[in-house]
Amino acid sequence: MSISFSSVQAGAISPGQFALFRITLGTVLAARWVWLGASGAEYFKGGWAVAGTMIALSAGLAAGLWRRGVAIGLFAGSVGLLVGRWGLLWPWDLAVPGLLAACVFVPEGEPLSMTGARSRRPGAWCFPAPIFWGAWGLLGISYVMKGVAAFFADRIGDDAGRSYLIDAFVAWSPGLAGPIAIIETAGLLVFLPLVFWARTRPVVWTLMLVLQLVAVGLTGFEGPAFGLVLLHLFTFDPDWLPARSDARRPVLLYDGECGLCNAVVRFLLREDAGGRMRFAPLQGAPAQAYLRAAGLPTEDFDSLVFAPDWERPAAGAPRLRTDGALAAADEIGGVWRVISWLRVLPAALRDPFYKIIARFRYALFGEYRPTPLPEPEWARRFLG
């Protein structure tokens, strides 16, 4: 068995995946600063003036508004909060500042950003591999040091070796505290050795993520768990969930005159690096023929239509609205397959939001104005 760090090369993290993480990071930080401002935590003396500034910066990060400058401001505020609380910083305390530093150095050009020069060509934006593996290093060192701190808690201080997860279980369900302590300790001890091998890396990553999510659910923003959860999300390897590779030929049918719909298609073209998906406007002859054969309306363009296998329509029924969107996300793999797991929610809960956007899409996003494709090869992925 050989040690392998080659599963993620520079550029394997897509612009869309980084944009999704940036939005998540900004949203979570905004919620945390709201909590700090409202809770009056004893280690936070800034009051609503400071909290309000940090909330605004966090919202700016989520929106992609001057990402690098906003991240520097959030970095300074986060480090100041940590120093004011602890004085001495442990590796796990640096999760959020480290992620904010990454947001400074990752190249601009990801989608879903209000400012910044967006990369027009798919290969123009490249995620720096050293940043990715640096985050993995911080995660591994954090867990090792956490285990050491817990073992020597009586010598280096209770807070350093404190397990917020175990404290929460002692208060909530004392009978579970012992088993959870064993699982957490085992995860801390084996995390770093197991991340050196590609096959065990996702297993131990998932184990510790679940533990940290439980800790966040029980303790909220108190303690380091929320920062470690964000660090886990940043280190998600898209190769763990590769694009589908069976013989099917999935096609997504969309409103070819809608500005939003065409933007979504181009987004999928960029994210689907392997060229798994094909596309066709609902108004075109191929799509119209498919709709008639499937018994679907030929003049209703409010719903996209996902065809599981264009060559063999009988192999799978077409999927509409959110079912179709999530099916397309599942096909291209990576973090988008995780998003596709929202299919566990009933369509009755998902589709109303889709229908609202579909109803007002022209008013909000306008009609599509044809522009040249950023990559000429993309033309081959359109039917007709």
Q: Taking the domains of the chain in order of start, what are their residue ranges?
A: 15-239, 251-381
Neighbours of 75 (CB within 10 A): 19
Reported as a single tens digit per residue, the pLDDT across 112-169 is 998 765 555 656 788 999 999 999 999 998 888 877 766 565 444 444 444 555 555 5
Q: Report percent pLDDT > 70 for the chain.
A: 82
pLDDT of 201 reads: 94
Which H or E element spans position 251?
strand 251-254
* CA distances, 2 to each of 140, 198, 200, 326 (Å): 19, 9, 12, 36
362-367 average pLDDT score: 95
- Across the chain, what does the average pLDDT equal? 85
Q: Which amino acid is at 247?
A: A
Cβ-contact 135, 102 below 8 angstroms: yes
Q: Which amino acid is at 12?
A: A
pLDDT classification of 44: cutoffs 50, 70, 90: low
pLDDT higher than threshold 50 for residue 64: yes
pTM (2 d.p.): 0.88
Burial class (CB in 10 A: 0-12, 13-18, 19+), 43: exposed
Strand arrangement, sheet containing 319-320: 278-281, 251-254, 305-307, 319-320
CA dist 109 and 19 (Å) reads 9
Structure tokens given for 235: 């280190």
